[in-house]
Chains A and B, each alone.
Chain A
């Protein structure tokens, strides 16, 4: 019997946890549970007391830097402690909780009285006395005080078998296809397939992954994926306005004045200017994600996304900053609007002296993404917001903390607002968030212009907020000019940073966020959901440790995820019928609906050319984002998306089927073994070639290795044959392929493409059929 020690991620043998602890009962124990120091007791503390009650309810305040840091109970936050082992931290926390648990006051244990609000307890609503959380604490108190065990039979945890037991993993070839399509938008090459045999050593060879991660297409995907997270493409107004009028008044509009007099025709000249602007804007918009590309491509520590002392500029965007002449010799091709190089900006000089930027070095205090104008502009502030939105997204983006999720319901929020002069500093219900949020907001204080750029607040920073700082450490005044660098340095050292980046890597690969810790202990499936979260969390922690050890090489995080069971899970050996097991496996397996961009790339990979229609409105209709108002991709297909899938499958099959038959057989992508004259059912040999062709189509389009005699190939064959047979019974049907599907074919003869036996149109139907299947439309 094995369960996971969530803190360390190690597997622990022999721990008995009650499956039936779901509602009324806490885990029962065997005599071996006693005394408290035994491993099973430790398991009870970590799995039940800590994970289900203390971490979610108590740790928010009862920790160093928390609102209750001056109370008698201060716990250690294992996610922010790096000097001690998880086991040591757990032991220490258990001891700290044991004291109030065994301290008896009138009415019982101090811990229980506090938790239920029978002794005054500030902060969030107390735990109800009939709640599962209370029963767990009650059991903890009983154990801590050495009371005899109730006579309840021990029941092993429902998930006593290894978590991935019975889950089928993708073989190496399938995994390779998944990786190359996902990360490089292409099918695996023959050489890669040869180097990655289906059987044998598990996983895609590291050398192949390294090679994929050197391809330009990988960096396209990387930028696209990170924009889903940071959304820097989505700020309002024209892109060049990210360069403030106060500091770049004379340079940001360079494209308007750029000399195009060599173009004589006025219309052509105007067209060229539009293109100039268009490229300039794209170059500016692309800078933040190009920073990420630069870091990853050059194997630089990923902490640079918050510490990089440079930005990325192109010949075009450099003109906007007014530094083109200074750096033009560093470009390989100064005419390329999209060649990015790293540069340091000088401290900003304003139109007015008061807008000059303080700088001890004479340079702009770059702090990776944090200080880019695009990021600041995407998340602007207002007089009343006071940079809190920036602080909130900072916590979300770089530490993986959803501050607003911490916002617990209080009994009367309006009364709290009215009771205190400064609720955010005085009311414990508010302080729980604002003590973390407001100091970071203060670090952005000198980026106060509401459009998001540098500028100090005239009245000075707010005094009715916790002062600028980071998790209990105040910003020294001498560091104010470089406050975001100061923040970046601390962020890079915070253990939560590595975890957050590994969670981002998971999003890139799967299109969804990591699981959230289930909170509802009354949920009959809570323990199953908890185990799923716990298992994934252990993997996140393990990969984060490896990521940090690698010097924060982001490719390491991707490679570790790709090698993980979570990425490789591909099916089940036997059906999972029990609700508990189904709940455990609910989020396992990739099964990701391809985004519009990914789907276009997949069409291109399989057919050699994208469909080209999934852009603008159609992309939004297909669940895409605009990075501004629509920021979450659709995870499931709607009927509108189903209609688009039909159009895509019809159109791509239409344009590709006859086209492939016009190629010499050796150059065909799909039909190298068959001709339009090959009618199904005419001979065994013909049918064998047809079946091999279908098998090839299944592999190329669906990524399935179906044997030519398999049931799946049978269905495709039946489709082909039935259509050809149906045709024989019809009269008046044209002997040519449909005009729309033949009109683009090259050559006079092909423009009149003959299909006398209807086989080409039947093959087109087969391709349409395959393009509508989940193996094509999902990853």
Chain B
């Protein structure tokens, strides 16, 4: 049946018209093996984080009121701001770098290039500033790696465009997954199917035949896309039943941990490739230090929770974590003790294939960008480049092994060969 189906698609010249290309159509056939990784989790510190209170400490010229330059701490090659005495809950920098520094890659001096939330989120999520059509990295990697997964791309907020190449899944609460896990049984009870097994098989056969007949008729591209997406969603939804055993009994209280549990359960069940996690309110125009000392520790605690739980679930060696924000905060405080938008900042990575204990790029003492030699990954004020989101995304695509995937090529980032960051991952 699968062979005939593919043949029909091929005859109809579908190929690229299918979401995810022909690959996604072939994926939309029954009996798919669970997706087994790699998995990708993107943490978004929504609103704009103060990097000088995390991985790019300054402590000079009044940039930070909570510490001075001499208070800056180190762990291996990492330098970070001391927050143990100032944090309001969550996890201090001291604890975080102590536990994860050896695995952590930090890139400082990233030029977000804009000072506004909406374009900044779009740019950081997709690597493209001037287009609303590009998918986020999480969506792109999901479309390339696991188009047949029913929850291939999970999102909990922030910019989540898909470029129409994969469906976006929002799962607000874990229990809601339980309700839909066994869709062909009455109230999810496997002992009470709606249809006898032979009738259900006939329904699925009829649907496959119906779907296969459609490419024989000329259709508008939107019709093709919609029909293929729908068929794939329904066929792939059968895999949802795999998620039930992985839904934890206890749901954590913390907002990031709740998102993480949904994502990790979905990873574990082999129904998800990537997840976009988000916590907001970083936009500390008033009382910057108070807000950042609550939110940065909360973010770090969320990351730590994910990594520890991934370890328990046997996923840690397959999980890549990206931690980012859409902008930084100014080097000066405003009249309300807040800090406004700043277009220079940082990004962090952690996971298999990423060499840790490294800091690449820099800002100067006034928190301005220092150009970077993309080959040597060393500061080069004369001939270096401004590392922008497209450089990061180009590198991420390389890292995920999808840079040459037809879907990636459909959304070029325009990074020239000499501006690529070949050694970023170590």
Contacts and interface: CB of A to CB of B under 8 A. Distances in A.
A643 B168 contact: no
Interface in A694-733: 711-712, 715-716, 718-719, 722-723, 726-727, 730, 733
Contacts of B334: 384
A726 to B, nearest CB: 4
A83 interface: no
Contact of B169 (A408, A412, A639): A639
A650 interface: yes
Interface stretch (B65-73, B92-100, B228-236): B228-236
Interface of B: 12-13, 17, 19, 111-116, 118-119, 129-133, 149-152, 157, 162, 164, 166-173, 175-177, 179-181, 183-184, 186, 192, 194-196, 198-200, 202-203, 205-207, 209-210, 213, 217-223, 225-227, 229-230, 232-237, 239-240, 271, 285-286, 330, 334, 336, 338, 340-344, 366-369, 386
Given A588-B222, A644-B183, A761-B195, A719 B113 contact: no
A142 interface: no
B221 A586 contact: yes
A635 B163 CA distance: 11
B114 A778 contact: no
Nearest to B284: A384
Nearest to A623: B170
A382 B113 contact: no
A346 interface: no
Given A588-B221, A588-B222, A654-B194, 9 more contacts: A571-B220, A639-B169, A640-B237, A715-B213, A723-B198, A726-B199, A730-B198, A761-B199, A772-B207
Interface string A745-779: 00000000000000001101100110011100110
20 contacts: A167-B220, A385-B285, A404-B119, A414-B111, A519-B130, A571-B220, A585-B220, A593-B230, A636-B19, A636-B164, A638-B168, A639-B152, A643-B180, A645-B230, A646-B234, A762-B199, A768-B194, A769-B203, A773-B210, A774-B223
Contacts of A384: 285-286, 334, 336, 338, 340
Contacts of B183: 643-644, 646-647, 650
Contacts of B19: 636
B221 A417 contact: no
Contacts of B164: 635-636
A129 interface: no
A338 B222 CA distance: 40
B218 A573 contact: yes
Contact of B219 (A571, A586, A726): A571
Nearest to A583: B221
A653 B203 CA distance: 13
A263 interface: no
B203 A778 contact: no
Contacts of B17: 582
- 6 A-B pairs with least C-beta separation: A639-B150, A642-B233, A384-B285, A642-B237, A413-B343, A646-B183
A718 B206 contact: yes
Given A407-B114, A636-B19, A636-B164, A620 B170 contact: yes
Nearest to A718: B206
B223 A591 contact: yes
Interface residues of A, number: 89
Contacts of B344: 414
A73 interface: no
Nearest to A641: B233
Residue of A571, A646, A654 contacting most chain B CB atoms (<10 Å) = A646
Contacts of B206: 715-716, 718-719, 769
A130 interface: no
Nearest to B157: A629
Contact of B115 (A413, A582, A646, A718): A413
B202 A774 contact: no
Contacts of B171: 621, 640
A472 interface: no
Interface in A614-640: 617-618, 620-621, 623, 629-630, 634-640
B204 to A, nearest CB: 9
A320 to B, nearest CB: 30
Contacts of A653: 194
B222 A621 contact: no
A410 interface: yes
B285 A642 contact: no
A722 B206 CA distance: 10
B202 A645 contact: no
Contacts of B227: 774
B180 A644 contact: yes
Contacts of A383: 285-286, 336
A722 B202 CA distance: 7
Interface of A: 167, 382-385, 404-405, 407-410, 412-415, 417-418, 430, 516, 519-520, 569, 571-577, 582, 585-591, 593, 617-618, 620-621, 623, 629-630, 634-647, 650-651, 653-654, 711-712, 715-716, 718-719, 722-723, 726-727, 730, 733, 738, 740-741, 761-762, 764-765, 768-769, 772-774, 777-778
Nearest to A625: B170
Contacts of B112: 413
A778 B131 contact: no
B230 A589 contact: no
Contacts of A764: 195
A719 B206 CA distance: 6
Contacts of B236: 639, 642
Contacts of B209: 715
Contact of B113 (A409, A585, A634, A715): A409
A576 B218 contact: yes
Given A634-B167, A647-B180, A654-B194, A639 B271 contact: yes
Contact of A637 (B13, B186, B233, B240): B233
Contact of B173 (A519, A573, A617): A617
Contacts of A167: 220
A574 B235 contact: no
A119 B160 CA distance: 40
A585 B222 CA distance: 8
A633 to B, nearest CB: 10
Contacts of A762: 199
A412 B367 CA distance: 13
A44 B207 CA distance: 50
Contacts of A646: 183-184, 234, 237
Residue of B118, B203, B220 contacting most chain A CB atoms (<10 Å) = B220
B198 A650 contact: no
A639 B167 contact: yes
A95 to B, nearest CB: 30
A639 B233 contact: yes
Nearest to B345: A414
B115 A417 contact: yes
Nearest to A764: B195
Residue of A575, A593, A712, A718 contacting most chain B CB atoms (<10 Å) = A575
Contact of B167 (A637, A712, A769, A777): A637
A408 to B, nearest CB: 8
A723 B220 contact: no
B195 A640 contact: no
B131 A768 contact: no
A591 B222 contact: yes
Contacts of B343: 413-414, 417
B167 A617 contact: no
A574 B218 CA distance: 5
Contacts of A588: 220-222
B151 A634 contact: no
Contacts of A726: 198-199, 202
Contact of A571 (B113, B218, B232): B218
B226 A650 contact: no
B116 A407 contact: yes
Contacts of A405: 119, 132
Contacts of A572: 218-220
Contacts of B366: 418
Nearest to B328: A414
